[in-house]
Amino acid sequence: MLQHNDLLRQARERIPSPYTPGHGLSRQELADLVNQWLFEHRDTVVTLDANYVGKLETGKIRRPQALYREALRAVLRVDSDAQLGFYRPRRRPAGAAQPDTRPRFAGVDGSVTALPWLDLYTPIEPTPVPAKIDRSSIAQVRLAAATFLSWDNAHGGGLAREAVFAQLRWCAQLLHADCPDPLRPDLFAAVAELGGVAGFMAFDAYAHADARRTFGFSLKCAEESLNWHLRASILSMLARQAIWCGQPDDGLTYVETALVRSDRLTATERASLHTLRARALAKLRRPQDTLTAVGAADAAFAHANPADDPPWMAFYDHAQHHGDTGHALWDLSIAGRRTQATPRLAYSVAHHAAEYTRSRTISRIKLASLAMITGDPREAAAVGNVALDDIGRLRSRRAIDDLRELHRFADRHPGIGEATELRDRITETLDAQ
């Protein structure tokens, strides 16, 4: 029988909720405050949630790790673990009977659901952190970043987000290990690179608080490494998220910050930042400034040389450039202005490499939405149906939201059978997500 931790629950409920006057903290609010405290005071990125707090309060987890206990004490304003119901497990007296921990087969002793599957999530022997950092340690962090980035491009951030955060938590411990001074910039840069991937996967999965916190951590690491390329990359991710979340003014600020000392950036990096400026300006309904920014992006990209770029900029090829600028011009086209949005998005769809499934699919959905509003709804339906063929391989909340938008646009053509069939198929796809 589990023994509920009422002391922890009472301590949580004593702290006023910042969002619900007259109520105590919710479990999720407590988790968010713990995550924030650990990031601000220990430079540690964690993603506790309401489910984890629930396990603490129901007694499924009797004593969390020391770092979590420290944060919980600070957030809940207590002095000791005992005030939160956290006690060391009692030692079993010598000679006491030991429980039978032999593994059992489901068909022999109970159902398969009785097996302790949740125990698999907590390693009995955590991977040790190297006592001293060398170049191979840094190379492994970079390999992890490249591996998760490849997964994210092909499948979206939804499925592997927990895995990349677990890897980031472990890699962040390397920053406290003994590291020769000449290697420290490379170590911080490698962790920043992995953090950028983790943050973007969280953003794609709409875990926005986790994404912002992780981007903030990664930005600090990039600045510690004095790596201007990584700094610009992380700021561009923050800009993308802000623009997507309806905060284009914040997005514009991030972009302008990234463009400080743009002479230290490659032509490709400058082009990517100018496309983000264009997307922010379009959302701010500044059409002429948007067109000027697109022109600046085109001018910079004309001088792009992949050999000059850091590895993580490999994604920003001709297809990505046309897609990003097409997204910016899309907003102007929807507002009734004639732009190159359609040919740019079409180029992006046709030329994205196979591994960039998400980018190609999102551009295709945007192309279908634009045609549904400003062009031929039947042609739009054909493009939308191809996008739906790819969407099943993705776990991207951003792609799903674009699909909902296409559904709304298709609703405007109830008399066109192809549009109606597309809308119905979108409904089935959304129901299956």
What is the per-residue pLDDT across 253-270, written as a single tens digit (0 to 9) for each? 999 999 999 999 999 999
Q: Which pLDDT band holds residue 424 (cuts at 50, 70, 90)? A: very high
Report the amino acid identity of residue 329: L
Pair 80, 138 in one domain:
no
Output the CA–CA distances (angstroms, integers) from residue 22 to 13, 15, 32, 74, 145, in the order listed.
10, 10, 19, 22, 44
* Contact criterion met (CB below 8 Å) for 289 and 300: no
Q: Which residue has the higher pLDDT, 131 or 107?
A: 131
Pair 146, 81 in one domain:
no
Which residue, of 52, 87, 122, is where some domain finishes?
A: 87
Pair 78, 141 in one domain:
no
Report the pLDDT value the prediction gives residue 72, as an integer from 0 to 100.
95
* Contact criterion met (CB below 8 Å) for 239 and 259: no
Torsion sign, CA atoms 311, 317, 323, 326:
positive
Residue 24, strand partner residues: 16
Pair 20, 79 in one domain:
yes
Structural domain contains residue 152: yes
Pair 76, 143 in one domain:
no
Report the pLDDT value the prediction gives residue 28, as an integer from 0 to 100.
87
Report the amino acid identity of residue 286: R
Which residue, of 193, 226, 259, is where some domain finishes?
A: 226
Structural domain contains residue 248: no
Helix H or strand E segment including 65:
none
CA angle 289, 294, 297 (to 5 degrees): 125
Which CATH number does the domain housing residue 83 bear? 1.10.260
Q: Has residue 191 got a pLDDT over 60? A: yes
Report the pLDDT value the prediction gives residue 87, as an integer from 0 to 100.
78
Q: Which pLDDT band holds residue 112 (cuts at 50, 70, 90)? A: very low
Pair 83, 143 in one domain:
no
Q: Give the separation between CA 89 and CA 245, rounded to whole angstroms.
A: 45
Structural domain contains residue 11: yes
Query: pLDDT (tens digit, 9 = 90+) per residue, 315-334?
Result: 999 999 999 999 999 999 99
* Contact criterion met (CB below 8 Å) for 366 and 327: yes
What is the residue whose two structure tokens read 């939405």? 369
Pair 214, 140 in one domain:
yes
Question: Percentage of the chain with pLDDT > 90?
Answer: 59
Pair 70, 138 in one domain:
no
Question: Percentage of the chain with pLDDT > 70?
Answer: 89
Residue-number span of the structural domain to which 213 is assigned: 132-226
Structural domain contains residue 26: yes
Q: Has residue 151 got a pLDDT over 90? A: no
Residue 125's contacts (CB-CB under 8 Å, 6 or more residues apart) are none
Q: Which pLDDT band holds residue 227 (cuts at 50, 70, 90)? A: very high
Report the pLDDT value the prediction gives residue 1, as an integer from 0 to 100.
57
Structural domain contains residue 151: yes
Per-residue DSSP letter, 120: G
Among 396, 405, 395, which Cα is nearest to 426's?
405
- In this prediction the pTM is 0.70
Q: Which pLDDT band holds residue 49 (cuts at 50, 70, 90)? A: confident
Report the amino acid identity of residue 383: V
Residue 241's contacts (CB-CB under 8 Å, 6 or more residues apart) are 203, 208, 211, 212, 215, 251
Which residue, of 205, 226, 247, is where some domain finishes?
A: 226
Pair 61, 147 in one domain:
no
Tally of structural domains, the chain: 2
Residue 145's contacts (CB-CB under 8 Å, 6 or more residues apart) are 190, 193, 194, 196, 197, 312
Among 358, 121, 217, 430, which Cα is nearest to 209's?
217
Q: Give the separation between CA 207 and CA 156, rounded to whole angstroms.
A: 13
Q: Has residue 376 got a pLDDT over 70? A: yes
Output the CA–CA distances (angstroms, integers) from residue 112 to 135, 282, 347, in the order listed.
45, 55, 51
Per-residue DSSP letter, 182: G
- Calculate the average pLDDT of the chain: 87
Among 149, 164, 256, which Cα is nearest to 214's?
164
Structural domain contains residue 333: no
Structural domain contains residue 360: no
Pair 139, 60 in one domain:
no
Structural domain contains residue 60: yes
Report the pLDDT value the prediction gives residue 63, as an integer from 0 to 100.
86
Q: Which residue has the higher pLDDT, 102 or 282?
A: 282
